[in-house]
């Protein structure tokens, strides 16, 4: 079985398992989506949602966060990992959006990735979930699962993104990256499946007996 055949199996199982999918991070607009994705680095979506539910009813524009200042932003997000660094990024990107983009989140990878704290993965999520642009955000979890399922060689998240875009139809990307995340959480956990128990792993590699080792991003 080659990677194209495995990709078809993966897509079939994921579409059957998750015919409808919701965005895991809560947001009020594209700007708050950007903030939530930035906050989710090294942090669970559940934790981010628990923190932002008390923020977004009152603060949901770049002007709000600029007026708050770094120290007050820190207090609002202190339950989230590396909150001081994230608070600095939120404050600075808010100022940039006000001064350079008329308080609007830019609709291009190039401009998004120029913002403080915004890497390619964060930009991809915003382009996909915020603007509906075909994108395939790859985090460490998707990187690990793509290796387990034989869809990439695991050299880097960049290579994994290229491989997944090659294997799956463009129209499926926005939904598919979320389906993979949910499936990983529910069925193909790092310290549970080990590449030998879930339906996707057993379907793609029916003869696999030993736990598969994946390369870190």
Active site residues per annotation = 121, 139
Cα torsion 34, 123, 201, 199: sign: positive
pTM: 0.91
The CATH classification number of 30-130 equals 1.10.340.30
Contact 134, 174 (CB under 8 A): yes
3-21+136-204 CATH, one of 1.10.1670.10, 2.40.50.100, 1.10.10.10, 1.10.1610.10:
1.10.1670.10
If pLDDT is split at 50, 70 and 90, which confidence band does 2 have?
Answer: very high
Express each pLDDT in 156-207 by its tens digit: 999 999 999 999 999 999 999 999 999 999 999 988 898 999 999 999 999 9
DSSP string of 59-120, one letter each residue: --SHHHHHHH-HHHHHHHTTTSTTHHHHHHHHHHHHHHHHHHSTTPPPSSHHHHTTSTT--H
Express each pLDDT in 71-81 by its tens digit: 999 999 999 98
């Amino acid at each position: 079985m080659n990677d194209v055949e495995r990709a078809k199996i993966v897509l079939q199982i994921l579409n059957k398992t998750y015919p409808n999918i919701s965005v895991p991070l809560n947001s009020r607009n594209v700007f708050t989506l950007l903030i939530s994705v930035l906050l989710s680095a090294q942090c669970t979506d559940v934790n981010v949602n628990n923190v932002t539910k008390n923020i977004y009813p009152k603060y949901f524009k770049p002007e709000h966060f600029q007026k708050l200042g770094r120290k007050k932003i820190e207090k609002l997000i202190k339950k989230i990992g590396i909150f001081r660094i994230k608070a600095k990024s939120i404050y600075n990107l808010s100022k940039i959006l006000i001064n350079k983009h008329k308080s609007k989140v830019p609709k291009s990878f190039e401009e998004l990735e120029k913002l403080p704290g915004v890497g390619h993965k964060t930009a991809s999520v915003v382009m996909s979930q915020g603007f509906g642009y075909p994108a395939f955000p790859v985090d460490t979890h998707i990187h690990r699962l793509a290796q387990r399922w034989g869809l990439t060689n695991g050299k880097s998240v960049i290579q994994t993104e290229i491989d997944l875009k090659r294997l799956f139809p463009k129209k499926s990307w926005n939904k598919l990256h979320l389906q993979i995340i949910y499936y990983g959480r529910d069925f193909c956990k790092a310290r549970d499946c080990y590449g030998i128990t879930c339906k996707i792993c057993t379907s793609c590699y029916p003869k696999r007996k030993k736990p598969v080792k994946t390369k870190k991003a």
